[in-house]
Amino acid sequence: MLVKNLRVGIVARLEILGALKLVRKVMALLSKEEILLERDVAKKFRKPSGDVQAFEKVDAIITVGGDGTVLFAQRLAPNVPILGINLGERGFLADVKPNEVEQALRKLRAGKLQIIERGRLAGMAYGKRLPDALNDVVICPASVGKTLTVKVVIDGENAMDVRGDGVIVATPTGSTAYAHAAGGPVVDPRLKAILVVPICPSYPRLVPLVVPMGSHIEVEPTRPGRDAQIIVDGRPATKLRCGEKVKLHWSDNPALFFQWSEFYSKAREKL
């Protein structure tokens, strides 16, 4: 039985080859539904766009692009389930292939796609809440070409001192992204754990850590005059000076996705 009055938001990275054509196809397949277009998409099609409040009220968001497009949509409406169509290189978050679009949308309209949760990280710096991270929080040098020295404390215990390009604190979802490139393990996203991965440390004995989801992690720059930059899911958030801390823990607000492909099949294909 088809779901009636489905409200669908569409977010796309239109500069990717084939994205515009694919958005037109999605809109045609959902012509009987209520469609809300993200600002850039609406501008291209010369249609009204939806604001943030409107996107937060849709039943589903469809993204056309890559994993970065999914992250953008997730920031736009954190509590709405996402179905990602992949035109990028990786496709761990956007995992519907272009030739599967019609099948995926048919199942979406029929209410046959399971909604799954992906854990996120919550953070505080300067007493202010950072955006929740679906993939990772990266603490890196604020100045290009400089190294950074940071202390990582986990549940009150000094876990590592990193001198290098910084440290990545990642979710299992983020374990296939930057953390994987930095030498971290691939973690099944069904596990509730946090990864701490040093980036290019000067001391090879430093190894990535996988810690329980209930852990509280503090990262503090310790070298005077070497500020750190905090990057949340690829977007700059704020800076830290020597002696200041960013505090990270498991968020109470998971991200929502419509399940399409299986994790291990994606890992075999893409890694």
Catalytic residues: 67
The amino acid occupying position 104 is A
Query: Coil, strand, or helix at residue 232?
Result: strand
> How many other C-beta atoms lie within 10 A of the C-beta of residue 9?
26
Q: Is the backbone of residue 225 left (phi > 0), alpha (psi -120 to 50) or beta?
A: left
Q: d(Cα 8, Cα 167) in Å, to the nearest integer?
A: 37
Residue position matching structure tokens 């509590």? 79
The alpha carbon of 84 is separated from its chain's Cα centroid by a whole number of angstroms, namely: 12
Q: Which residues contact 175 (CB under 8 A, 6 or more apart)?
A: 184, 185, 186, 187, 189, 195
Task: Give helix then strand counts, H and E, for the chain.
Answer: 7, 18
Q: Answer whether 216's CB lies under 8 Å from 201's CB.
A: no
